């Protein structure tokens, strides 16, 4: 009878060790996923900020000046050749 109890104890110990390893792996995976979620949340915020900036008068003016060469009233453009 004591051999059976000892065998069950050993089996439970082995299984407990396996479960601890599994818990550790799951914990590491959870941490990695939480970091990934935070990174994606930060990226979403950056995209939203950029979207707001692109709808601003400041951005429109910048693009008009850089890409289209437009000037404000009473401005003079000097070019180096």
Tell me 56's DSSP state: S
- pTM greater than the 0.75 cutoff: no
Q: Name the token pair of 22.
A: 């599994």
Phi then psi for 46, rounded to 5 degrees? -60, -40
d(CA 15, CA 2) in angstroms, rounded, equals 20
Look at residue 79 in the predicted model and tell me its pLDDT: 76
Joined together, the tokens standing for residue 27 give 């914990």
- Reported as a single tens digit per residue, the pLDDT across 2-44 is 788 788 888 888 888 999 999 999 999 999 999 999 999 999 9
pLDDT of residue 3: 81
Do 71 and 65 form a contact (C-beta atoms < 8 A)? yes
Run of H or E residues at 9: helix 2-54
């Amino acid at each position: 009878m004591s051999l059976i109890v000892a065998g069950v104890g050993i089996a439970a110990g082995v299984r407990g060790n396996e479960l601890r390893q599994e818990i550790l792996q799951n914990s590491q995976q959870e941490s990695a996923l939480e970091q990934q979620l935070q990174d994606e949340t930060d990226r979403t915020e950056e995209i939203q900020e950029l979207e707001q900036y692109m709808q601003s008068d400041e951005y429109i003016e910048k693009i008009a000046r850089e890409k289209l060469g437009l000037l404000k009233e009473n401005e003079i453009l000097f070019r180096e050749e």
